[in-house]
Structure 1
Amino acid sequence: MALAPQWTDELSGSGQELLVARRYLIAFALVTSLFFMWAVANNFNDILIKQFQKALDLTRMHSGLVQTAFYLGYFTIALPAGWVMLRVGYKNGILIGLLLYALGALLFFPAAESRTFGFFLIALYVIAAGLAFLETAANPFIIAMGPARTAAQRLNLAQSFNGFGGFIAPFIGGALIFSGVEHSSAELAAMSPAALDAYRASEAQAVQMPYLGLAAIVLTLAFVTWRVRFPQIAEDAAPTADVQGRSIWAFRHLRWAVVAQFFYVGAQVSIWSYFINFAQEIAGVGEKSAAHYLGFSLMAFMIGRFAGTALMRLIAPARMLAIYGAVAAALCAVSIGAEGWSALIALGVTSFFMSIMFPTIFALGVADLGSKTKLGSSLIIMAIIGGALFPPLAGLIADRADSIQAGMVVPLTSFLVVMLFGLRMSRGARMV
């Protein structure tokens, strides 16, 4: 990798085995905390989808627009975020992202008062715009914080805390947002207009305090970031001949990474968005219990990232990616064909095998880009648009088939694409 951090003098001798330069561990820890914070926002969406079905009387397909608005924010803002950071640097880019994140969370209060789905979608879009800045800055920043050969391990380590945030978000969101009050269609139809309105208003307002608290935490993190000294990372001033003068799209491994990330994020978001619906319909559990099972699935995701960081000392990242893609596709097939708890467990275990996919695809995609790393990073983050397009598609298939299991054909197909990317990269595919 052609990044030339200014701390290379600290990585001489035995120090070369360090994943991160000692002098910048505080900055590394702070940036790693961002991975945790955007996981909370991402995985609160899985709670919101179910909550909005209750509060705003939405179908599965319409509630899936939560993810469409969210990931559209990533898609439209990632490239501008990369351009902005070329001018203002990583730290200021992170500060912009945190402030947008906090603003979007604050917008949940008036959105809940108005009970307008479109207002909620705007708030989610603003949050995602902030996260686009954070991810565009944090992922290449972590990659640059040490030797190139351990970049995938380093990013998987940082992303492990993303897994931790994803793990606890359903428990926190389920406890703070879900009331546990669920009415059947017949019970709702029997309510008076006033009682029905009061019920939906109460369910809508349940999101206000959790998002106000989230805004307060994010603003505190922005203040700490402002005060902490960050290392100056400069891309190599003299890029290699293979990099200099090339169009960013000339790098085959980057193009493939963008496609693989598009399908991976679509698969991940489709599974987690409808996991609560899946658990309720297939295993017959209540919404709070379903949220807990989602949390356990995301605990497997977190464990998978820590385990993946260790396993990459023994297995090449690209090969691991291919194996995990194949296993995840097989588990989706079981979730479609099996019944009851067998189907639910199979779907839940996919999270373990999804764990390494995002950071590994990212690290493989930006390898050897040199001074084009920020732009390459933006393009891979833009590929997160898959999370906007695939959940409504999965919801539509489920609605048409009248079976939530049928919708899982979407992630099954997507994991096969990830597997193919891993196979190509394990054969040494790189630049044109």
Structure 2
Amino acid sequence: MKAAFTEKKYLVTLAFVISLFMMWGVAMTMGDVLNKHFQNVLHVSKSQSGLVQFSVFGAYAVMGIPAGLFMKRFGYQRGVLLGLLLFAAGAFLFIPAANAASFSFFRFSLFILACGMATLETVAHPFVASLGPQSTSDQRLNFAQAFNGVGTIIGPAVGGMFILSSAVAADLESVKQVYIIIGVIVVAVAIAFSLIKIPSINTSFDPHQDQSVDQKLVSAPKRLFQHKHFIWAIVAQFFNVAAQGGTWAFFINYGHEKMGLSDEKASYYFSFSMVLMMVGRFAGTFLMRYVKPNRLLALFAFGNIVMCIIVAQSAGWISFIALLMINFFFSIMFPTIFSLGLKDLGRHTQQASSFIVMGVVGGAVFPPLMGLVANKDVASAYYLPIICYAVIMLFGLKLFKTSD
């Protein structure tokens, strides 16, 4: 008999947790809108504005392990509430940051908000996986990730309409108002979630629940960091999110400087590129029926090497379409690297998951570096992510292999 997607008793809880995926998707891409807005209003350089991503992704390095320990000690529900409270606190800190017109204060606010995002992401993935049969956990996670994709579409669309619009683009008042609304929504979700009675969840790892689990791997004597493919997965994830952070950070700049688009219109194209990323996820899921995941990962990484070369040529719409297509090829990278890195780890799987999530800190490092190049020519900055895709391609071709 085919296993159920979930159970009736988990439906309300699952709906709430899936909504979290959308929330941090909105917040993540809103940061890229703020990147351009701070250049306009606070008159910071591109390399300085890249520190927005440093603040956001740096929070993942800080909160990854503490969030996991908190979840282990206090459970999923309290872990979610901690994440939501940090998320809301960061949003409300935008009020004094806007009043002070301080770039440093905004970065601190984003760091607190992103600590909430990191906590939610650390907790939500295993939470969703536990809300039903183990054999259908991948389906639930992919379904939840689809809503994260919806959030990444909403973020730049809202930012373009309410922050980069020509009617409000000259001040910080619109930023303050948007983040007050975000804070209120997050608090409302937190209150509602605190009132939910979470059904009992069996979080213990039982190999008898899934016949695909190899008993010898569960009791394998190897320590976690003796698994080379896991270490390379952390490296690949670092470079993956590094490329993502840099590409997104200067997308609007490219649209404005190279295509002559207004900041508002460029943000709508950015939103459309997120639609292409969702299309890529569906296409990638289909293609994996016929192509091994590691090979498809390598193929998509090669695709983005080609796209970056075209983007860097400043060849009008040809280059801009290539910039849009980068998100299509991005689509499968994060989850595929994640799943390949966790392969055959048995009892180490949960611990390994926390370390691979921390690879997201790559997004803190690359945008400032790309910004240094973008200060002179934003198109040339897109040569840098080629390094990242070369590493990912190598991981997909060779370094993903598990060792006995």
Provide TM-score, normalisation by structure 2: 0.91
- Residue aligning to 1:318: 294
Within 2, Cα distance between the matches of 1:42 and 1:289?
19
Residue 89 (structure 1) aligned to one of 75, 90, 99: 75
Consecutive unaligned residues of structure 1, counting only runs of 5 or more, are 1-12, 183-198
Residue 204 (structure 2) aligned to one of 235, 240, 253: 235
Residue 154 (structure 2) aligned to one of 161, 168, 171: 168
Aligned length: 396
Within 2, Cα distance between the matches of 1:232 and 1:113?
45
Residue 350 (structure 2) aligned to one of 364, 374, 385: 374
Shift of 1:149: 6.4
Aligned: 1:14 with 2:36 = no
Residue 334 (structure 2) aligned to one of 358, 368, 372: 358
Deviations 1:191-212 (A, max 9, x none): xxxxxxxx9xx61222101001
Aligned: 1:294 with 2:282 = no
One-letter identity of the residue aligned with 1:335 = V
One-letter identity of the residue aligned with 2:36 = K
CA contact (8 A) 1:318 1:425 kept: no
Shift of 1:225: 2.3
Residue 62 (structure 2) aligned to one of 76, 92, 95: 76
One-letter identity of the residue aligned with 1:14 = K
Shift of 1:418: 1.6
Within 2, Cα distance between the matches of 1:83 and 1:362?
20
Aligned: 1:413 with 2:376 = no
Within 1, Cα distance between the matches of 2:143 and 2:298?
19
Within 1, Cα distance between the matches of 2:315 and 2:246?
19
Aligned: 1:430 with 2:385 = no
Within 1, Cα distance between the matches of 2:314 and 2:52?
29
Within 2, Cα distance between the matches of 1:29 and 1:419?
35
- Residue aligning to 2:181: 213
Report 1:239-254 matches (<5 A): 240=215, 242-244=217-219, 246-254=222-230
Consecutive unaligned residues of structure 2, counting only runs of 5 or more, are 208-213
Shift of 1:59: 0.2
CA contact (8 A) 1:156 1:309 kept: no
Within 2, Cα distance between the matches of 1:365 and 1:26?
31
Report 1:106-145 matches (<5 A): 106-145=92-131
- How high is the sequence identity, in percent, across the aligned residues? 40
Within 2, Cα distance between the matches of 1:113 and 1:304?
41
One-letter identity of the residue aligned with 2:2 = S
Within 2, Cα distance between the matches of 1:30 and 1:306?
23
- Tell me whether 130-139 or 101-110 shows the greater mean CA deviation: 130-139
Provide TM-score, normalisation by structure 1: 0.85
Shift of 1:164: 1.0
Shift of 1:129: 0.7
- Residue aligning to 2:86: 100
Alignment RMSD (CA, Å): 2.3
Deviations 1:378-429 (A, max 9, x none): 2111111110000011111222xx2111111222221222222222367xx2
Within 2, Cα distance between the matches of 1:104 and 1:270?
23
Aligned partner of residue 171 in structure 2, secondary structure: helix
Within 1, Cα distance between the matches of 2:394 and 2:139?
21
Within 2, Cα distance between the matches of 1:174 and 1:231?
43
- Residue aligning to 1:156: 142
Within 2, Cα distance between the matches of 1:275 and 1:230?
43
One-letter identity of the residue aligned with 1:328 = N
CA contact (8 A) 1:171 1:291 kept: yes
One-letter identity of the residue aligned with 1:346 = A
Report 1:161-200 matches (<5 A): 161-180=147-166
Aligned: 1:42 with 2:28 = yes
After superposition, the Cα gap between the structure-2 partners of 1:141 and 1:318, relative to the gap in structure 1 and judged at 3 Å, is: farther
Aligned: 1:304 with 2:280 = yes
CA contact (8 A) 1:99 1:130 kept: yes
- Residue aligning to 2:172: 204
- Residue aligning to 2:210: none
After superposition, the Cα gap between the structure-2 partners of 1:330 and 1:148, relative to the gap in structure 1 and judged at 3 Å, is: farther
Within 2, Cα distance between the matches of 1:230 and 1:359?
28
CA contact (8 A) 2:245 2:363 kept: yes
Within 2, Cα distance between the matches of 1:233 and 1:72?
32
- Residue aligning to 1:397: 373
CA contact (8 A) 2:232 2:399 kept: no
One-letter identity of the residue aligned with 2:339 = A
